[in-house]
Structure 1
Amino acid sequence: MMVSTLRDLLNAVSSLRRAIDDDAAARLEGWKDMVGEGGLPEGAVNLANYLALRERDVTPLQPALARFGLSSLGRSESRVLPTLDAVLATLSALVGEEARVARPDAETFDAGLERLERSAEVLFGPRNDPRRSRIMVTLEPDIALDHDELERMLAAGTDCVRINCAHDAPQTWRAMARAVREAARARGRTCRVLMDLAGPKIRTVDPHTPGDRPRLQSGDELLLTFGRSADRTRFPFQAGCSFPEILHQLDKGAPVALDDGAAMGRVVSLRKEGVVVAIEKTGPRGKKLKGDKGINFPGTPIELAPLTPEDLDALDVVCEIADMVGYSFVQRASDVALLQGEIGKRRAHAEPLGIIAKIETQLAFRNLPEIAVQAASANPFGIMIARGDLAVEVGFERTSEVQEEMLWLAEAAHVPVVWATQVLESLVKKGMGTRGEYTDAAMGARAECVMLNKGPFIADGVAALGDVLRRAERHATKKTPQLRALEAWRAASPEV
């Protein structure tokens, strides 16, 4: 793509605009068949345009636009066609010809971001603070049922809470939700409740190790059994799998990760007793083989029902008391349709329940556009960047790249994002944060909501996170720098 003159640039952008129209139209036609009578959500059209744009390499256009003082296309996530049309109208004027497209007015140009903000308010409730990003706290019974601690947490800036249905029981969930709402109402505000379905937790079961060596090391072999232990002389390291049927879906060479990637290996053989995993990487001291630790199969598209019988039981309570449901292990649009059907059975005449899709596998990431279109066609919808499992699935070195793309895709779809997993973890659990955690927390300002996990210093964590988010938001909105005066630099400059 040669761009040497204004007219070359005008023709290149005009050609790009036509190609995006054609590609997006084809994609939208397929999505219409997928959602049926529900119709496409408003953000789907912009998402289709964004995917059509990003499937092309437009890097030669970026410096050419900048040389003429025009906006690049790098901040067009929420408004693809308005951005292109604004550039085309300006280029047409610069070359002295009649505009090939109408220049979008301010309302049209800003509509995408405003739609995203409305979606965030529907899901997470009105802002309780001038900051843009809400703060979500994972609630535990000890805090929820302690009036003073709950007051401290809300006073520090908590906007919404998460109840993990993998723990406790329905009567406890009801008590927690009731306590939060009563405390928030006493403060003259709201506090939305997300209830997180556990999903099919793939974990180690009944581990066996040599009596003198409980830790896996690089070079060891681990037998993941179908349920019954095998010859321990041949396989001194063994563990069952909570969903043994998954093991039949693995091929020789498939990667396997244990306990959030603390031990990594590959399938080297398939046996009648189970699959043999050669351990390739652990920490210097090895990794102790324990029960109830997560197992991931990066790169293998696992076929597993996303709603367990326990999830369906929990969903009865969720549909009764929650504002949002967290969907674990969602991987396809059909998984979303399954949950929507189950919600419909329980809330046929009620307001639609918000859905937060937890994106934690490579397959879910790849299917994110279709997941978003299916969910947002009938429900208030957001995504959670579940960086724990996701990092294991895509590889730690790719995590920052993948979470960045997820932020872009969600903004293009006008879908709110929850930035989750170990945000200010050391501060919340130990009372003292780390430099890296504060930098990571500032990245959360690009999302509509940031989630903290539970810990004894949760109120301190909420206050610190609120401060970090307010500072970060003054510098940038999404990817767009605000260019405010450099107050921190000026304050740090020595007097001369």
Structure 2
Amino acid sequence: MTDLASRIQSLYEQVVTEVERAVAQYPVRQGEKSRNNLLAYHALQKHPINDLEMLLKERGLSSVRESLPHIMYTLQKIMENLGVHFLPPSHLSALSPFEARLISRIRTDLALGNIVGGRHTRIMVTLDSRMLDQPSIMDHLLINGMEIARINCAHDHPDIWESLIQMVRESEQRLHIPCKIYMDLAGPKVRLGAFHKEKKPLKIQVPTDLSGKWKEVSGFLDLSAPESKVMKGIDGQNTFVLAVRNKDMFKEAQKGDDIFFRDVKNRPRTLKIDECVSHSRMKVTVDQTSLIDEHVVFQHKAGKFSIHSINPSPVDIKVKRGDILRLYLNEARPGHAATEHEPAGVPVTLPKAFQNVLPDDRIFIDDGKINGIVHQVQKDFIDVKIHFPTIGYAKVKEGKGINLPDSLVDLNVPAITEKDFQDLPFIAKHADMVGISFVHRPNDLIKLRKELEHLSADNITVIAKIETKSAFQHLARIMIEGLNFQRFAVMIARGDLVIETGPEHLSHIQDEILAMCTAAHIPVIWATGILERLTKKGIPARSEITDASYGKRADAVMLNKGPYIIQSVKLLDRLLQSGDEFISGSPYRQAWHQPGLFIPSFRKKLPVRQHM
């Protein structure tokens, strides 16, 4: 026997021994072959094989690294080609490439639905409640490639969710294009609480073009509006609703009329009536930025009027590098700006998430736009010394998320909250898929499975969102537990994951997750930040084009909401189809799409605190 044959046989025997030892520790009700192959992948990672790979390549033999879906089968075939015909007895069955492809294809189609067209990767689109004002948008999304519609239960309420789902179903029937409904459980997201409120003038911001000329902003005067407000429409443009009471003006107003006023800064401004929509609502435009409050007097030929019901807004709270931001552990205490005697302070939701916080722990706010180090921990508050932004100020906003990557949040906060349990009956009735946010350990999936069985919804697809450090560290066990579901998938939720693990680790981590999903024949969803600039601003960044193209390694790619979502779906559809000749005929992700998979040491670099 040659030295190469001997080394391959030794490697095979060690992998088989480790898998056999682990099988009893991780029982599954189904998916035994996938579990065994995932265990083989982990066993293989413990052994340095770089030089073996080079020797195999020189002999024209298969690469072990490129055979993730059928590891033991590949090792057996390599030995057979090297003249090793007597293998140690084992009760483990080795999956062939054909079996691995079949299992992967069946499991992916069951979990995510059959795909239409020439792509191998599905497109998931996050729905926005503002889409309810644009009934045709769902048709455009389906026509241009959306196969999965996502609703995030952290936002809005069941009435809005049901209306969005109805829009999808009506477009489905009208166009005969199938679409799955995916609903995310809100999960235990730690957020900033409410701030003190104060009355501020409404600011109607009118942008300028490249030449500096003012553009127009349209809005409405409304007799029945409950409040006056400024907001962004689904198209991303500013709009406004001004609540008024002057019925006589509505009776006499005509298209083209001007309404004159001086804003809060005493600047002359004009509203032009574009359309009398109804007896109580008219569309108007303004061509200059204006500050308006309830004391501003509007002058129309039919008489004078003012607006009403401007709701108080949160106070402005800003921080810069070196400031102290106080986090109140009493959610009822409203946020306030810094004073001469105390730093700016804001309340937090889920105070129990802070039970293990220690000095020098890192804290990230608003997806990392603000971050700092814990300065001191007191019974009622935690002081954070701000490190970022490094230049200028950052605005602290109500409701923004908080990440505590060093503070063992999962020990005190369950992945499934009381709100999630309340939302599950609706989800079980209306959705095809449910996502469990902030999953930490296999037990989180067990709790969800029991609740779904109680609701007679155990055939719904369950998607484990990997977005915390603890989820990644327990990923193999989470995936093995996931095999007990009839339909299961994994989502790489890169937004929170990059904060939890550090940006320097994200590339390795997402590749590792993709590799493990390939080995376990579990479909994977590539999420967060895909074509984000295009979706929000209308112009894609060069780097996100490459990032979106990498989505071909996954079974689905998720787009977040934004005013240019249709353009993003169109571009993503083209990107996912281009180059498919390289992977045609392969229903699972090829290992050669996974650079740097076999770098087992990078996990050790993650900042991990030992459990006490």
> Which range, TM-score by smaller chain?
0.7 to 0.9
Q: Secondary structure at the match of 2:355?
A: helix
Structure 2 distance, partners of 1:60, 1:16, is 13
| Higher CA-based Rg | 2
Structure 1 distance, partners of 2:448, 2:350, is 21
Q: Secondary structure at the match of 1:298?
A: coil
Encode CA deviations 1:7-47: one digit per residue, 9 max, x unaligned: 11111111111111111122221111xx5xx3555411111
- Does the CA-based 8 Å contact 1:85-1:101 persist in structure 2? no
Structure 2 distance, partners of 1:268, 1:372, is 38
Q: Secondary structure at the match of 2:186?
A: coil
Match of 1:221 among 324, 327, 343: 324
5 Å matches for 1:289-438? 289-302=396-409, 303-347=412-456, 350=457, 352-438=459-545
For 1:359, the aligned partner's letter is: I
Specify the alignment match of 2:224 in structure 1: none
For 1:159, the aligned partner's letter is: E
Match of 2:182 among 191, 194, 213: 194
Distance 1:130 1:106, change over 3 A: farther
TM-score with structure 1 length normalisation? 0.87
Residue 182 in 1 paired to residue 170 in 2?
A: yes
Query: How many residues end up aligned between the 2 structures?
Result: 465
Residue 128 in 1 paired to residue 123 in 2?
A: no
For 1:193, the aligned partner's letter is: I
Encode CA deviations 1:162-195: one digit per residue, 9 max, x unaligned: 1111222212222322321232233334211101
Residue 11 in 1 paired to residue 6 in 2?
A: yes
User: Percent sequence identity over matched residues?
Assistant: 32
- Does the CA-based 8 Å contact 1:156-1:460 persist in structure 2? no
Q: Secondary structure at the match of 2:490?
A: strand
Specify the alignment match of 2:44 in structure 1: 53
Specify the alignment match of 2:208 in structure 1: none
Specify the alignment match of 2:311 in structure 1: none
Encode CA deviations 1:234-266: one digit per residue, 9 max, x unaligned: 641222211111222112222111111122222
Q: Which runs of 5+ in 2 are unaligned?
A: 197-314, 594-612
Residue 27 in 1 paired to residue 22 in 2?
A: yes
Q: Secondary structure at the match of 1:30?
A: coil
TM-score with structure 2 length normalisation? 0.71
Distance 1:237 1:355, change over 3 A: same
Task: Report the RMSD for the aligned CA atoms in angstroms.
Answer: 2.7
Considering fraction of residues, name the structure with more strand: 2
Match of 2:73 among 79, 82, 89: 82
Distance 1:179 1:207, change over 3 A: closer
Cα distance, 1:457 vs structure 2? 2.2
For 2:175, the aligned partner's letter is: R
Encode CA deviations 1:85-108: one digit per residue, 9 max, x unaligned: 12111111xxxx646489xx9982
- Does the CA-based 8 Å contact 2:452-2:458 persist in structure 1? no
Q: Secondary structure at the match of 1:330?
A: coil
For 2:394, the aligned partner's letter is: K
Q: Secondary structure at the match of 1:195?
A: strand
Distance 1:261 1:91, change over 3 A: same
Structure 2 distance, partners of 1:249, 1:75, is 42
Q: Which runs of 5+ in 1 are unaligned?
A: 1-5, 483-496
Specify the alignment match of 1:486 in structure 2: none
5 Å matches for 1:57-206? 57-92=48-83, 98=85, 100=87, 108-143=96-131, 146-206=134-194
Structure 2 distance, partners of 1:133, 1:462, is 13
For 1:320, the aligned partner's letter is: K
Q: Secondary structure at the match of 2:398?
A: coil
For 2:563, the aligned partner's letter is: P
Structure 2 distance, partners of 1:474, 1:145, is 40
Structure 2 distance, partners of 1:106, 1:18, is 13
Which stretch shifts more, 180-189 or 129-138? 180-189
For 2:21, the aligned partner's letter is: A
Structure 2 distance, partners of 1:454, 1:62, is 44
- Does the CA-based 8 Å contact 2:30-2:483 persist in structure 1? no
Structure 2 distance, partners of 1:351, 1:201, is 25
Q: Secondary structure at the match of 1:137?
A: strand
- Does the CA-based 8 Å contact 2:435-2:465 persist in structure 1? yes
Residue 280 in 1 paired to residue 387 in 2?
A: yes
